[in-house]
Structure 1
Amino acid sequence: MKTTISALVASAAALGMVSAVQAADLVIYDPPMMETVAMATSGWDGFYLGVQGGGLFESGDIYGTVQGVVGANFSVSPMFLLGVEGAVGPYFGDDSGWNGYLAGRAGFTADSLLIYGIGGASVTDGDWGYLAGLGVEAMMSDDMSIRGQVVSYNGEYWSATVGAMWHF
């Protein structure tokens, strides 16, 4: 009987030691924190300021133009953008005066490239009208883009401009 009790005590002691050894190797699984996934936006989103210049063409006459530009863009989807833009500045040549516009933009984005259409209201020397055009803009850095744009004003004259925009 003493042998049986001694065997039970020895087994219990050995089992206790094994449990203590296993506890030292215990791995506590710490699940990773859930990551917050934000809606993907493009570098085109937000406000921008810039300057554009080029030529106005009307019935064989050519005028120079320089305009200050302000606008805002909003990505509707990863590849589609909507925006609003205003520009105003002088034109000069045989005659001189002021022209400007307030227009909407809609375009397709592919990484650092934006291809867009523009349309809205225009004013030249106090006469109101409409404009419609197309443009291509390329993001050169996180906060700067360059672009080229061709716009028809009232179907009577048109402009071709290049510009630089600063995004913030």
Structure 2
Amino acid sequence: MKKILLASVALFGFAGAASAADLPMRAAPPAPIVAAAPIFTWTGFYVGVNAGYGWNDDAEDIVFDPTTTIVGDSDEDGGFIGGAQIGYNYQIGSFVVGLEGDIQYADFGSVTYAFPTGTVTLDSEDWFGTARARAGVAFDRALIYATGGFAFTDNRSGWTLGGGLEYAFTNNLSAKIEGLYVNLDEDDFDFDGVTYSTGESDFGVVRAGLNFRFGTY
């Protein structure tokens, strides 16, 4: 009798273990997948606007004859400038290179030249543009850069050099502070039937700008 009871217990125990093995296993839920935050980059196209102040020399020289120089006095040393820019940056590690072009309105007044037979007043250029290369070092969203290239107006051409600091305060918007030195070639004008050549025109520019940047990642 005892042997029969032991056999029954063993049989029921085996059947219970088999039934438990058929039950589904409880597994821990998979860990949520968190995408890594994209790394910020300066690479991409941008457009923007700017405004600031420009100042020119208070005098320009003209060649009157081989031994005489007539000095022209400017009635305004500087004034407001403002315009728009477009460009492209490419980032390689911490280095950023690019190209930028801009067109600027400039309120620089006029220049009056005194001659033995009278005076002549010439308006300064009321606009100028530049086409420049940019190269700098990025510290995440801050960019320190140097810039230089070609400068032009409607009747003069020359060159420009400068530098600036730009900071991207959102993924698509960045602000900059920039300074430029602009040098333009001589210009000619007629007075009393004689053609005179002005000296080179040079001026400084300090401006702040706002850029909208396409494709920051």
TM bucket (normalised to shorter chain) is 0.7 to 0.9
1:100 aligns with 2:129: yes
Q: Structure 2 length as normaliser, TM-score?
A: 0.60
Larger Rg: 2
Q: Following the alignment from structure 2 to structure 1, what is the Cα–Cα distance between the partners of residues 131 and 138?
A: 22
Aligned counterpart, 1:72: 88
- Taking a change above 3 Å as real, the CA distance of residues 146 and 10 of structure 1, as seen in their structure-2 partners, is same
- Taking a change above 3 Å as real, the CA distance of residues 12 and 129 of structure 1, as seen in their structure-2 partners, is farther
1:89 aligns with 2:135: no
Indicate the RMSD between aligned Cα atoms, in angstroms: 3.3
8 Å CA contact 1:63, 1:93 repeated in 2: yes
Q: Following the alignment from structure 1 to structure 2, what is the Cα–Cα distance between the partners of residues 8 and 117?
A: 93
Deviation per CA, 1:73-110: give whole Å up to 9, x if none: 23222x33222211012212212332111122222223
Q: Following the alignment from structure 1 to structure 2, what is the Cα–Cα distance between the partners of residues 96 and 130?
A: 15
Deviation at 1:136, TM superposition (A): 0.9
Q: Structure 1 length as normaliser, TM-score?
A: 0.74
- Taking a change above 3 Å as real, the CA distance of residues 19 and 126 of structure 1, as seen in their structure-2 partners, is farther
Aligned counterpart, 1:144: 173
- Taking a change above 3 Å as real, the CA distance of residues 104 and 13 of structure 1, as seen in their structure-2 partners, is farther
Aligned counterpart, 2:205: 159
Deviation at 1:46, TM superposition (A): 2.4
8 Å CA contact 1:101, 1:121 repeated in 2: yes
8 Å CA contact 2:54, 2:108 repeated in 1: no
- Taking a change above 3 Å as real, the CA distance of residues 9 and 84 of structure 1, as seen in their structure-2 partners, is farther
Deviation per CA, 1:119-140: give whole Å up to 9, x if none: 2222133433222211012223
- Is the deviation greater in 129-138 or in 53-62? 53-62
Larger helix percent: 1
Q: Which of the pair has the greater relative contact order for Cα pairs under 8 Å at 6+ separation?
A: 2
Alignment size in residue pairs: 165
Q: Is there any run of 5+ residues in structure 2 with no aligned partner, and where?
A: 59-76, 110-123, 185-201
SS in 1 for 2:85: strand
Q: Following the alignment from structure 2 to structure 1, what is the Cα–Cα distance between the partners of residues 6 and 178?
A: 94
- Taking a change above 3 Å as real, the CA distance of residues 143 and 6 of structure 1, as seen in their structure-2 partners, is same
- Is the deviation greater in 154-163 or in 30-39? 30-39
- Taking a change above 3 Å as real, the CA distance of residues 166 and 12 of structure 1, as seen in their structure-2 partners, is same
8 Å CA contact 1:48, 1:166 repeated in 2: yes
Deviation at 1:158, TM superposition (A): 2.3
8 Å CA contact 2:55, 2:108 repeated in 1: no
Aligned counterpart, 2:54: 56
Q: Is there any run of 5+ residues in structure 1 with no aligned partner, and where?
A: none
